Amino acid sequence: MIQWESATGGRWTQRLVGDLKQWCGRKHGGLNYHLNQLLTGHDCFGTYLHKIGKEATPSCHHCEAADDDAEHTLLHYPAWDAPREVLKAAIGEETLWTGMVMGSMLRDRGSFAASVIGEKLQSERERRRQGPAS
């Protein structure tokens, strides 16, 4: 437990999971591919792709954001406003914040993550098929 709290990496995951004992003892929800991508910030996020050398910059290909990371996708990217509103309605909150989001998505079987990350992955695949912009 001490390593979890003092680790310098995985801060995003820590923000989403919150209390590790409570997380591990939960009686609902299971992770799936899309939830894992959102939880770890890996795969289709510009900051991750830039970090591993697959993108020239960490910026979002879909808006003006300088950093396309999981937080940007989950909380700020305008294209996901509609699914975000559905998630907020499902959990009965007017504002999303990181500490409560993952538990809510686990309860709804990750429908927000599946729709948003699924669409983001598809967009990334299509962009890669088209090749570099001229």
What's the confidence (pLDDT) of residue 58? Answer: 96
Please list, in sequence order, all residues whose beta carbon lies within 8 angstroms of the beta carbon of residue 97, skipping any fewer than 6 positions away: none
Which three-class secondary structure state does DSSP give residue 75? helix
Q: How many domains does the chain have?
A: 1
Q: Which residue in this structure is represented by tokens 């992770």?
A: 31
Q: Evaluate whether residue 95 is within a structural domain.
A: yes
Q: Print the domain residue range for 70.
A: 32-129
Could you write out the DSSP letters of every residue in 65-99? -S---HHIIIII-GGGHHHHHHHHHHHT-SS--HH
Chain-centroid distance of CA 36 in Å reads 8
Average pLDDT along the chain, 134 residues, taken 10 residues at a time:
70 80 73 84 91 93 89 88 84 75 66 82 86 62
What's the confidence (pLDDT) of residue 67? Answer: 94
What's the confidence (pLDDT) of residue 109? Answer: 60
Q: Evaluate whether residue 86 is within a structural domain.
A: yes
Q: Evaluate whether residue 9 is within a structural domain.
A: no
26: amino acid identity, one letter: R
Q: Evaluate whether residue 51 is within a structural domain.
A: yes
What's the confidence (pLDDT) of residue 117? Answer: 85
